[in-house]
Each structure stands twice: as structure tokens, then as C-alpha cells.
Amino acid sequence: MGRPVIGGEAASTRAVRECHEQQARQLWYQTLGFATDTNTETLYQGVADSFKAGGSIALNLLASYRRAYDNPVDPDFDPLRWLDDNPEKYQIELQHLSSFAGTGSDAEALALLVDVTERKAAEKRIQRMGAAAQLTARAIAALPDVALLLVIVAALCIPLRAAFRRTGRSVPATANT
């Protein structure tokens, strides 16, 4: 006890071996999200993480409306003063500061902080996935945005179609003599 083992397996080598063993034990259906072990990154978890990590504009809009609805506006709340006081306390990164400037209350800012923390964790989990799984998860997460874009384009085409539609009056035919 207490003496190091000389000639044994290195910790990094053991970690790589255990990772390969885990992948070999994982069945094909577990990669789709039906895994029994929570330590594996599955496609289902990757799609959920892609939604959380900002892969869907529609989900981001819904999350911002949810935060605004759940946390009523405080007229005395100054988001810029809150940002001056709290970036070091909550370890807010520069890229997220603009999001906090639009909050209407302290509770909404804290709810946004929770969402940003979840987004960072989701991004880290996505990075551990393989390249093909990342691409697939991000593509699936983008489907609601594509559907929303198609609905908007279709809605814009309705007035255009009406503008170019014939009025229904027929031009009298002239007799060829």
C-alpha cells in the first residue's frame, strides 16, 4: 500500500481502453437514444442538446417569451446596472452580455443565466459526439426553423398570388370572318 506500481498501465491509456470497450458494448439502438448508461452521448441527447445550445431559432424565441412571461417586468430594474454589478459574480462571458441587456427584471436575468449555463453544458456534450452525429443532430434541430421559414414564405406568397391573379372577367371573343 502506498507504493506506486511500476510498469502498470497509464491512466490515459486505461481511459482510452475503457472508452473503446464501452463503445464496443454499446448496441446500435443505444446510439439512437435508448441507452441504459447516462454517460454515453446518444443521438437523441445530441438533438436535445442542439436545441438547447442554440441550434433552433424558434426554440430560442419561445424560451425568451417563456422567461418574459414567467417573470413580470420590474419598472425599477435597470439591466445595464445589473450587468455592471454581476458579470464577475455569475461569470458571464462577453458573448452573452447583450442577451442580459434585454431583461426586464432580476428574476428574468437569473432565469436567462440558468438557460445560458444549460446551453454551455449542452455545447460541451455535443463536442464529445462524433462528427457525423453532430451533423445529424444539428440538422434535425434545424428542421423547425426550416418549417417556420417555409410557412413565412407561403404566407408572403398569398398576397402576391392575389395581386397577379386574373379578375375572372373574360374578354369577349371576336368573330373571325
Report percent pLDDT > 90 for the chain: 5
- The mean per-residue pLDDT over the stretch 27-45 comes to 56
pLDDT of residue 169: 57
In DSSP notation, 84-144 reads HHSHHHHT--GGGHHHHTT--SHHHHHHHHHHHHHHHHHHHHHHTS-HHHHHHHHHHHHHH
- The widest CA-to-CA distance across the chain, in whole angstroms, is 117
C-alpha cell at 160: 402576391
Query: Highest mean pLDDT: which of 17-26, 100-109, 168-177?
Result: 100-109
Where is 167: in which H helix or E strand?
none
1, pLDDT greater than 60: no
Q: What is the average pLDDT score of the chain? A: 77
pLDDT band (50, 70, 90) for residue 34:
very low
What does the pLDDT read at residue 135? 84
pLDDT of residue 159: 82
Q: Which of 7-16, 27-36, 95-104 has the highest mean pLDDT?
A: 95-104
pTM: 0.60
Query: Are the beta carbons of 79 and 109 closer than 8 angstroms?
Result: yes
Q: Closest by alpha carbon to 32, among 140, 146, 119, 142?
A: 140
Which uninterrupted H or E stretch holds 58? helix 57-70
pLDDT tops 80 at residue 84:
yes
The residues, any chain, with a CB within 8 Å of residue 55's CB and separated by 6 or more, are 137, 138, 141, 142
pLDDT in tens, 102-153: 888 889 989 988 988 888 888 888 887 778 878 888 888 888 888 989 999 9
pLDDT score for 35: 47
Of 93-97, 166-170, 171-175, which range is least confident? 166-170
Question: How many angstroms separate the CA atoms of 50 and 45, rounded?
Answer: 8
Rounded CA gap, 176 and 106, in Å?
A: 81
State residue 150's pLDDT score: 93
